[in-house]
Every structure is written in C-alpha cells, then in structure tokens.
C-alpha cells in the first residue's frame, strides 16, 4: 500500500517512531486524523472507537477457528465481536484473503460489503536457495515437512495419517514436524510414535533457530491438511518447495508422486503469480477508494 502512495501506518502507542517490518509505527493521535481505519483485531475501547472515520475490518482468520476459540473456558468472544460489528455504522467493508470464507462472513455481516483480495507473500524474503538445512542429522532420502499451526479447524491430523501410510512404501522418507503446540503433541503423540516405530520420523520441534526459510529450501515437500492457501502454503512455495494439500486418504501414492515431481522453479513461479503482494495492494486500495 505504501508503495502505491498510501500513507499507511501501524498504531502502537508504546512503539511510536519505531518500524515494524519496514512500516512506521504511530500513536493514536495520528490515527484520529487518518482518513480510514483498517482493523484486524478490533478497535473498541481505543481512542479511535468514537471518531467518525469509516472502518474496514480485515477478517483474515478462519471463521470456524474463531468460533471455537470462543468455546474455550474464558476464551475471547471473537465471533460475538463480529456479530456486533454488523450493527456498527462506521464499519463499511469486511475483507478476507480467502474466497472459501466469504459465505461465512456473509452470514455474520448481512448488512456489510464483503470483499476478497489475493493472499500475498513477501517474495523478496521467502526465496529459493541452497539446501543447507540437515534436519539435525535426522534427514532422509525424501524429506517431508509439516508446519501447520495446531488449530481446531486445520491441525495435522490428515497429513500425519497420510504420510504414515505413504511412507510404508517409501522407507527412506522422513517426516519433520515444526510449530508444534506449546502444549505438546497431545493426542497426536500416538500417531508420531507409530511413524517413528515404522522408521519414518525425523525432527519434531516447536521452534527452529534458523527459521523456516532454510527448512523449506531443504525439504522435498510440505504436506498440509488445509485446503486454503495459508502462510505455510505461500511461504513454502515461494521458497520453491512444493505443497501437497491432503484432502483424504485415497490415492496417496499418486498424490505424493505428482507433488514430488514438480520442479522447484515451477513452484516458485506459481508463487510469484498467485501471491504477488503488489496485486494484493492494488486490490485493497481499490476497495478503500470505493467506500
């Protein structure tokens, strides 16, 4: 957006004058004089809650997961917040990255404009390169990675089970798990034990010191149970690592074979076409101009 001439800033009174990923950080005073407020996590109870600017709400999160969070003991009422925002006259539009979620937002915001923009990835940060990560000595002939966040609507259930079956005919394959929940493996530990017993378990950690870029550049494949283009999908593809979206347990041999056969160059080119942040910026700017 800033490259298109829009003076957009993050608001954080505790970090005034700082930068966040190259974007300047300002105070509430700056926001009060802005033309439009773009909100992701809500704006009630802040100094801009009672101003007159139009508001755009970016619902990038997954609706089912937002609802399930509210089901937890003392869980924040995220979905109730969305319900109430439908009756806020300042809210002019709801924006999402995911076309798959538009209908859910139409349920919660029947009186608002619902728009979808292309999901982006930083193509300059996430790039292909030398395969230097060695998976802490636990690599295999084929290194398959799962970095799904452990959420109620998109955990690693499908990719773990799919890999376990496929790997029985591919003994040199290793599965590497990252971004494991702070609460541990939970019920997934039994599946992980089975994969380990079969000789196909590699590295399994929550945090990687060198970051995911090196992992994606070194992996042969990323598996995910998500059907949407999550960060895992976009960032892995930008690093040239192909992604297999596991939709079920039928046809696994073909699914894995096709996914592993695609070149890194082609995968990177697809990321450049599908997740170009400049395209996202143009689409979002058009929404703001038409409010």
Q: Where are the domains of the chain?
A: 2-120+276-289, 135-274
How many CA atoms does the CB half-sphere of 142 hold within 13 Å?
21
CATH tag, 135-274: 3.40.50.2000
- Give the least confident one: 79-83, 188-192, 205-209: 205-209
- Name the residue with higher pLDDT: 129 or 21: 129
Mean pLDDT along residues 73-97: 93
What would the two tokens of residue 9 be? 């800033």
Given a cut of 90, is residue 238 above it in pLDDT? Answer: yes
pLDDT > 70: percent of the chain: 97
The band of 172, judged by pLDDT with boundaries at 50, 70 and 90, is very high
* Burial state string for 88-110 with b = 16 or more CB within 10 A and e = fewer than 16: eebbbbbbbbbeebeebbeebbe
- Name the residue with higher pLDDT: 261 or 208: 261
pTM here? Answer: 0.92
- Name the residue with higher pLDDT: 79 or 209: 79
Given a cut of 80, is residue 80 above it in pLDDT? Answer: yes
Residue given tokens 């890999």 in the structure block = 163
Would you say 201 and 171 are in contact if contact means Cβ atoms under 8 Å apart? no
The band of 181, judged by pLDDT with boundaries at 50, 70 and 90, is confident
């Amino acid at each position: 957006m800033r490259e298109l001439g829009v003076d957009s800033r993050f608001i954080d009174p505790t970090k005034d004058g700082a930068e966040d990923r190259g974007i300047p950080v300002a105070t509430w005073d700056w926001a009060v004089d802005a033309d439009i407020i773009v909100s992701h996590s809500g704006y009630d109870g802040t100094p801009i809650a009672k101003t007159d600017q139009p508001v755009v709400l970016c619902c990038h999160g997954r609706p089912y997961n937002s609802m399930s969070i509210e089901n937890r003991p003392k869980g924040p009422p995220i979905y109730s917040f969305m319900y109430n925002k439908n009756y806020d006259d300042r809210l002019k539009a709801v924006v999402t990255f995911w076309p798959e979620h538009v209908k859910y937002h139409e349920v919660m915001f029947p009186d608002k404009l619902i728009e979808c923009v292309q999901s982006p990835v930083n193509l300059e940060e996430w790039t292909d390169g030398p395969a230097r990560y060695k998976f802490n000595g636990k690599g295999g002939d084929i290194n398959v990675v799962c970095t799904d966040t452990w959420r109620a609507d998109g955990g690693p259930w499908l990719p773990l089970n799919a890999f376990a079956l496929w790997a029985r005919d591919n003994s040199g394959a290793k599965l590497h798990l990252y971004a494991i929940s702070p609460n541990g493996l939970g019920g997934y530990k039994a599946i992980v034990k089975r994969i380990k017993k079969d000789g196909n378990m590699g590295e399994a950690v929550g945090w990687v010191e060198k970051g995911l870029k090196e992992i994606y550049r070194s992996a042969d494949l990323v598996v995910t149970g998500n059907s949407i283009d999550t960060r895992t999908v976009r960032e892995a593809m930008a690093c040239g690592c192909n992604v297999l979206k596991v939709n079920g347990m039928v046809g696994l041999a073909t699914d894995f074979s096709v996914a592993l056969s695609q070149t890194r160059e082609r995968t990177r080119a697809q990321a450049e076409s599908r997740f170009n942040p400049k395209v996202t910026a143009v689409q979002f700017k058009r929404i703001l101009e038409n409010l």
